[in-house]
Amino acid sequence: MRALFFVSLLIGASIVFYFSWLPKPNLGTYRILPDWLSHWTDVNDNMNVRTAVPFFIMGVSSGYWLSSTGQAWINWFWLWLLLIAVVSIAEAGQLLLPLRHFDWGDIAWGSAGAFIGLLPLGLLRLVNHKRHW
């Protein structure tokens, strides 16, 4: 279970780095994603929001692992900081790409996505913990 968690986190971070470090920010030019998804990601209103999606998914999967293993609350916080570090590294890498730019909004949306992904299972754990008192 632990190895699966780390592999899924590594895969998620790798996908984030890959898409963050493509030379052009418009994903539709690469034909990697389905057309409907590329169109959604490339709309200007969604440019920052799209960063939250993979971090939400990584937050949910990480929250599931933390819940199933009974991890201490501080580990939830450290995992959230780890996910913030991933989005920060991805953004910092864009400083080296001429057509990309560093954006604090992407860091904020990635952080929020990770937090919202971790939140449901964290709250469920809290409710279950209080029932046992």
Per-residue pLDDT of 25-74, as tens digits, reads 877 787 888 888 777 777 766 668 888 999 999 999 888 888 877 777 78
User: What's the pLDDT at 130?
Assistant: 61
Band of residue 133 on the pLDDT scale cut at 50, 70, 90: very low
Neighbour tally for 45: CB within 10 Å: 7
Cβ-in-10-Å burial (0-12, 13-18, 19+) of 103 comes to middle
Q: What is the pTM of this model?
A: 0.83
CA 83 to CA 55: how far, in whole Å?
A: 7
Rounded Cα distance between 129 and 133, Å, is 7
pLDDT for the residue 17: 97
